[in-house]
Amino acid sequence: MSRDSSRKLPFVILALLLLAAVGLAIRWWTYGRFHESTDNAYLRADVSYLTPRVGGEVQQLLVKNNQAVKAGDLLLKMDDADYAAKVAQAKAQVAVREAALRTNGQEDSSWQAQVAEAEAALQAARAEENRLFLEMQRAKALVQDGVATKQRLDNAAAAWQSAAAQSRRAESGIAAARARQGGVGTGREQLIAELDAAKATLKLAEIDLAATEIRAPISGVVGDQAARLGSRVTAGSRLMAIVPLESVFVEANFKETQLAQMNVGQKAEIKLDAYPDLKLTGVIQSLSPASGAEFALLPPDNATGNFNKIVQRVPVKIVLDGVNAEGRLRPGMSVEVTVETR
């Protein structure tokens, strides 16, 4: 290398560095300052974990891992003999309560008839009492006129007193019949309450019986299947998961210092580590109400003496434009996200 070339080399390097710096500055001014990127991002989906409402032995297992299912498909059926027997028992209790209520209604009708009969008897007794009272008054007038004997007056008075006693007896009969009718009415309220309780028990038994069939709540693909044919499961135990592959989204964890210009509705570009040539786009749907550390099992306590400031990350949900790319996207895949903040 000549001496002139050696002297020019530092200037060439300096010129190249200046050009690179100018290029980077232009790149940042026209693109970089309007974009925020992170590689702390993953594909997610609203996975449904299926747990039984009741326990029992798995009698039929109609799906397997990685099988596509539709909402409403029967996935698993448990032995329902015990629950069917409870439904039958509850139906029998409802029938017993309904029969008791019908009997009570018949008794109420019977006592209504007896009250009406007692009221009619009272009217007849009072009519007879009035007739005999008038007969006694005529006998008294005839005795005073000397036409009739005192014995006739005594007989008329006795008959009138007997009729008055019959009237009082009829009044007592009405009161007794009405009291018994009231007792029947009070018992009817209790029977209605018992019938309602029996129907509620039947409803719960039917719900438990229906719960022996596990159906898909959403469409998706079966995964993490823990249920086995013939095994006994308990209420609340995890049987399997259904992953809705058609509704995967991106959860990007941006630094808090990147959120100043980030808003809902902004465009985003997504690159997948698994498929470098596949370019996806999406839109910011929402930002988490708190940083990821706040939702951790053991949130950090910064009120201690040895505090170190750490830049926090906030999850940002990005929905993809269009559906799953030929079914290749899987929750948990790593992605890189770039958001345009203009």
The percentage of residues in the chain with a pLDDT greater than 90, rounded to a whole number, is: 45
| Residue 21 forms part of a structural domain | no
Structure tokens at 154: 């005594």
Average pLDDT over residues 302-323: 82
pLDDT tens per residue, range 42-63: 999 999 999 999 999 999 999 9
Both 189 and 223 in one domain: the answer is no
Contact between 84 and 146 (Cβ < 8 Å): no
Helix axes 81-145 and 150-210, enclosed angle (nearest 10)? 170
pLDDT-derived band at 67 (thresholds 50, 70, 90) equals very high
Q: What is the pLDDT of residues 203-228, one digit of tens each?
A: 999 999 999 999 999 999 999 999 99
Q: What domain range is 309 assigned to?
A: 35-44+247-340
**Range with the poorest average pLDDT among 19-23, 232-236, 320-324:** 19-23
**Number of structural domains, the chain?**
3
Q: How far apart are CA 236 and CA 51, in angstroms?
A: 5
What is the rounded CA–CA span in Å between residue 314 and residue 339?
14
- Mention every residue, 6+ apart, whose C-beta is less than 8 A from residue 139: 148, 152, 153, 155, 156, 157
Query: What is the residue type of 316?
Result: V
In the numeric block, which tokens belong to residue 157?
């008075």
pLDDT in tens, 102-130: 776 766 666 666 666 667 766 776 777 67
- Which residue from 323, 317, 329 is spatially nearest to 250, judged by alpha carbons? 317
Between CA 321 and CA 337 the distance in angstroms is 14
Q: Please write the tens of the pLDDT for every residue from 12-40.
A: 677 777 777 766 666 656 555 668 899 99
d(C-alpha 261, C-alpha 259), whole Å: 6
Whether 97 and 66 map to the same domain: the answer is no
Domain membership flag for residue 15? no
Pairing relationship of beta strands 56-61 and 249-255 according to DSSP bridges? unpaired
Residue type, 105: G
What is the per-residue pLDDT across 159-192, written as a single tens digit (0 to 9) for each? 777 777 777 777 776 677 666 656 555 567 778 8
For the record, the structure tokens of 199 come out as: 């129907």
CATH code of the domain covering residue 194: 1.10.287.620
Domain end point (choices 242, 258, 291): 242
C-beta separation of 78 from 233 below 8 A: yes
Cα 50 to Cα 55, 75, 77, 214: the distances in Å are 13, 10, 13, 8
Based on the fold, state whether residues 186 and 231 are members of the same structural domain. no
H or E element that contains 285? strand 279-287
The verdict on 175 and 317 lying in the same domain is no
- Is 297 a member of any domain? yes
pTM assigned to the model: 0.67
What CATH number is associated with residue 227?
Answer: 2.40.50.100
Q: Please, what is the end-to-end C-alpha distance for the chain in angstroms? A: 51
Best CA proximity match to 35, nearest among 255, 216, 261: 261
- Would you say 160 and 122 are in contact if contact means Cβ atoms under 8 Å apart? no
d(CA 305, CA 308): 9
